[in-house]
Structure formats: C-alpha cells, structure tokens
Amino acid sequence: MTTAASPDHHAVQPDRADGAANPVDAGRTGLLKLDNISKIFGGVKALQSVKFDIMPGEVVCLAGENGCGKSTLIKVISGVYQPEAGAVMLMDGQSIEGLNPAKARDLGIQVIWQDLALFPEMTVAENIAFEQNLGPRPRLVNYRQMKDAARRILARLGVAIDLDRSVRTLSIAQRQTVAIARALVADARLVFMDEPTASLSHAETEALLAIVRRLSADGIAVVFVSHRLAEVLDVCTRVTVLRDGQYVGTFPTAGMTQTRLTELMTGRTFDYAVRSTDLSRAPVVLQVEGLTRRGEYDGVSLSIRKGEILGLTGRLGAGRTELALTLFGMSPASSGSIRLNGEALSLRSNRQAIRAGIAYVSEDRLSLGLVQPQSIGDNTVAAVLDNLLGPAHLIDPAKRGALIDDWIRKLAVKIGKPEDAVSTLSGGNQQRIVLAKWLATNPKLLILDSPTVGVDVGARAGIFAIIHQLAAQGMAILLISDEIPEVYFNADRILHMRLGRIVAEYLPGATTMDRIEGDVHA
C-alpha cells in the first residue's frame, strides 16, 4: 500500500464553505450549529475556524486522524473548554455562551468517552440512574425508583440486562449499552460516542449500530467517532472531516467510499493491492501440528515460512488469542507440537518463548503492551534489560540510550523526549513503541494480535509499512485480526478460525474479500 499527496478535487461535494445553506439542511431546524470555533493551547492551534452542525435525529460522523482536533471540539461542545473569541454556538437557533459541563448536560448534551466512565463495583441500575441521585444535599436513595428508571430505558433500547449485576462482570458491549442508557436517563438530545465499537466483535457492533438507529428514530442526534470507516458509512448520513485542527468539509455519506474518506482525513491517496510473494522455497520458521488446549482450541495445524505474513481471522471467541498465548508460552497446550526453525519447543512461560525467538504484541496495548506512567524509553527497553547490563551488572546508560534512539529512528516514532511518559503519545505512536519493545529482542517469529485497535487510518498505513518491511527482511509474522481488509491486503495467506478450529485457508487475489467476509460472518 503506497501513499501520495491527495488532489484538491472532491468526488463528493462538501457543505459550502461560504455559509450558504446546504441542500441537505433545507427546511430543517438545526439542533446544534457551530461556526468559527478555534482553540489555542500555549500557542498551538488545536482548532482553527472549525464549523459543525447536526439536526435532531441525525447521525453524523466526526472523522479525522488522531490529533486532528476531534476530542478538543467535543470538549468545547460539552463545556469542558471555552472557545476563542469570535466563536458562534447555537442550540435550537439560540446562542449559547458561558457553556460549562453542567449547562451542557442541562441542554441535553452527553458524551460517552471510550473509557465509558462507569463505576465497576456498582450495579447496572446504580450506574444508569446515577445522575438522578446527585444533588446539593445528601438524601436517601430510592432503589425501587432507580430500578424502574433503568428498566424503562433498557426497554427503550430493546435490550435486557440484569439490573442487579455488577458492571465489572459485564462484557464491553453490555457496558456500552449501560453508558448509553445513563445518557438517556439524563434526557439526552445529542449524544457523542467516542470509538464505541473499538473492542466489539462483528455481532456486537451490529447490535450497537441497531441501538444508534433506534436513538435516531426517537429524535436523538448522535455524533459517531470511529476509525472503522465501513460502519461510519453504514450508520451516518453525513461526515465532518477535520485535519490538523482545520475544517476540511462536511460530506454526505451517500456515494462516499472508505478510500475517499481516508484521503480526505489524511491528505494522501492510498493504493491498495494484495501481496504477491512466492515463498514456496522459503524455509519453514513455525510448524504447529495438532495443537489443542481443552475448551479453547482443538487440533490446530499451521506453518509460517521465513518472510511470510500469515493472516488469522475469525469471530470473537474463535480461539485466535488463546492460540497466540500458547505460542507465546502463556497458556501451555494440552497436546500437539510446536517447532521453531525445526527445533521442538515445550513452552511453559513467556520467558522461554522470548529466549526461543518469539515476540507477541497483545491486542490490549493500554494494559498489557505498555506501562502507561513509565517513560517512552523505559517501555522500549523493557524486554531486553539483560542485554543492557554493564560490567557492574547495572544498566549501561550509553547502551540504553543508543538502543532507544535506534528504534525510535527506525520506526519513525514521533515523540517529544524519550523521558516523556508513553501515555503522551498518540495511539499510532504508542503502537510503534510496542513494536520497538519486541523487535529489540530480535525475534524469529512476531505475533501481532489486532495491532491497529484504536489506531487511525493514516497511522495504520505506517504500521503495516513497517510490518511489510520486517517480512521483506525475513521475519515470520502471524497477523491476527477480525478486520478482513487488514488481513486481505497485508497477508500472504489467510486462515479462518471458527470455534477453536482452522476451517478454511485463502489466498488473497485468488479469493475475493467479499467471499472471506461472507464465510467469517456466516
């Protein structure tokens, strides 16, 4: 996949920048209309003359790469930040000034952030009706009233969840539903959803999109923020695009393609093509025969050759991650064999796997891939500390610094200083640090489990360019993803896993992407 500068012409016409009415808006009263929204932090223009509007019951996407200003704009609309002088903010045609979070909630503006901000030890009913029990003075909680309110809202959404269950026991999809229900209890008229499907399976995503459509039918406006462009085009009527804090345009989704939307977001064109590499004579790096772990997967056999990218896809619960954890020594198999470069392995820990030459990039970057409070440098060298010891068995600062600088340069990580906390980086740059940490171990086999979760489209292209380069240098790579386009355009072969078994193998180019998607989601 290659990129180039994007031309200025648009296949899909945006709303007019001169302020004239767009045909989409004719005859309708806007719920929210913003114009000339700017925000400056310490001389940095996070937003510059941005405009945005939404109608009652409309579902609009707010799109752009990480760092483009989406979160800043949402925080302006929800009263967390005050815009610069000259901003125009209208709600129901009336000017709103001095907006703060409390006033925004009173206006019916609710934001469901990616972390959901739920109380894990409290029950479903307590989380949903939480705001109803807030007030200036302490009072007794009416649990019957609380449950009745929660039950009504869940019924309105068409879902059933045990109101007495602790939120920590719920799936991510159920937690999303609880967060939406809490917004509705607060009489939401405009709901922002930040990456609501990032951790959901295909079936769970479809269920969430059904809820979004139900909200729209009830007249509630929804602003949908997602890096999964297919669902954006499916559920939204328009998309507002930001790039580097500036307004690119607002476009109808009818006639829009994922490729065109990606170009608008990044300012680059992308040339998608399947990999075509003859690896039939390359030596086998990983050979798995009849691998079984009771209750998780059964009789798995596969091989990966030197320089090959093997894609592994399937629905959530198919056993993909469980298989990866076995290959990384975290969950020993019940039976079967694993060979690396012809040598039989009996892996009982991840330390053994690392010493054998296996690296694993987890799908959960935030809690398993990185130590967020620690520095970029510390995270980069975390897996190779033994290699940095000097004569006194202490870490040699010169070796440490050289290794950090080398990998930051090789992977083109955009950072301030290596001493900065890794949490200060964008999702794409955090993922590059995770890659750097494991590539520093000089692995023979690299396992990538959903490597682009929460990473925007431009950063994804950069990550896959690195993966292709590693394969060209002879590394064997297992690429696990439930996003079919990712494996289709980046793998030499694709395996379909269902209910713990490998049920099909595909060659991209010889098989259509539609067929694979149909098989996986059947």
Q: Which residues of 369-382 are buried (b: 16+ CB within 10 A; e: fewer)?
A: bbeeeebbbbbbbe
Give the N- to C-terminal CA distance of the chain in Å, as an integer.
Answer: 29
The yes-or-no verdict on residue 264 having pLDDT over 60 is yes
Q: How is residue 100 written in tokens? A: 């703060």
- Mean per-residue pLDDT for 465-493? 92
Can you count the helices (H) and strands (E) in the chain? 16, 22
How far apart CA 399 and CA 373 sit, in angstroms, is: 23
Q: Distance (Å, rounded) from C-alpha 433 to C-alpha 413? A: 7
Domains, the chain, ordered by start: 284-521 (3.40.50.300)
Tracing tokens 């269902």 back to the chain, one arrives at 498
pLDDT at 44: 85
Spatial distance between the Cα atoms of 79 and 90, rounded to a whole number of angstroms: 13
The pLDDT of residue 133 is: 63
Strands 445-449 and 476-480 come out as parallel
Q: Are 462 and 433 in contact (CB under 8 A)?
A: no
Q: How does pLDDT run across 335-355, given as a tens digit for each residue?
A: 999 999 999 999 999 999 999
Residue-wise pLDDT for 276-325, tens only, equals 788 989 999 999 999 999 999 999 999 999 999 999 999 877 999 999 99
Collect all residues with Cβ–Cβ distance below 8 Å to 132 and sequence separation of at least 6: 145, 146, 149, 185
Q: What digits encode the pLDDT tens for the residues 206-238?
A: 889 999 999 999 999 999 998 888 888 889 999
* C-alpha pair distances (Å), 409 with each of 403, 405, 419, 424: 10, 6, 16, 18
Query: What is the length of the chain?
Result: 522
Token reading at 457? 């489209």
Is 90 exceeded by the pLDDT of residue 14? no
Per-residue confidence (pLDDT) for residue 131, from 0 to 100: 73
Provide the token pair at 113. 């952030």
Q: Each residue of 44-72: pLDDT tens digit?
A: 899 999 999 999 999 999 999 877 899 99
Tokens 């694709």 map to which residue? 494
Mean pLDDT of 177-181: 93
pLDDT band (50, 70, 90) for residue 139: low
- Indicate the pLDDT class of residue 516, thresholds 50, 70 and 90: very high
Q: Say which range, 80-94, 141-155, 446-460, has the weakest mean pLDDT.
A: 446-460
Q: Report the distance separating Cα 314 and Cα 495, nearest Å.
A: 8
pLDDT tens-digit series, residues 241-258: 999 999 999 999 998 887
pLDDT category at 136 given cuts 50, 70, 90 is: low
Residue 226: what pLDDT? 87
Q: Are 506 and 496 in contact (CB under 8 A)?
A: yes
pLDDT for position 367: 65
Q: What is the pLDDT of residues 409-439, one digit of tens each?
A: 888 888 888 999 988 887 778 888 989 999 9
Report the C-alpha gap between 193 and 208 in whole angstroms: 11
Furthest-apart CA atoms within the chain: distance in Å: 78
Q: Does the pLDDT of residue 500 top 80, yes or no?
A: yes
Average pLDDT, the chain: 87
pLDDT digits (tens, 9 = 90+) for 368-408: 778 888 999 999 999 888 888 888 888 989 999 999 999 99
Give residue 173's pLDDT: 87
Interatomic CA distance for residues 313 and 507, integer angstroms:
13
Whole-number pLDDT of residue 21: 35
pLDDT range class, residue 476, cuts 50, 70, 90: very high
Q: Are 306 and 285 in contact (CB under 8 A)?
A: yes
Pick the more confident residue, 136 or 396. Answer: 396
- Under the banding of pLDDT at 50, 70 and 90, the label for residue 171 is confident
pLDDT band (50, 70, 90) for residue 271: low
Q: In sequence order, what are the beta bridge partners of 338?
A: 288, 345
Q: Check if the beta carbon of residue 121 is closer than 8 Å to that of residue 128.
A: no
Strands 32-41, 88-91: parallel, antiparallel or unpaired by DSSP? Answer: antiparallel
Given a contact cutoff of 8 angstroms between Cβ atoms, the answer to whether 239 and 261 are in contact is yes
Pairing of strands 59-63, 238-243: parallel
Confidence of residue 200 (pLDDT cuts 50, 70, 90): confident
Residue 184 CB burial class (10 angstroms; 0-12, 13-18, ≥19): buried
Out of 136-140, 364-368, 390-394, 469-473, least confident range: 136-140
Cβ-Cβ contacts under 8 Å for 57 (sequence gap 6 or more): 216, 217, 218, 219, 220, 221
Q: Is the pLDDT of residue 201 over 80?
A: no
pLDDT(24) > 80:
no
CA 276, distance to chain mean position in Å, is: 28
Q: 367 or 261: which carries more pLDDT confidence?
A: 261
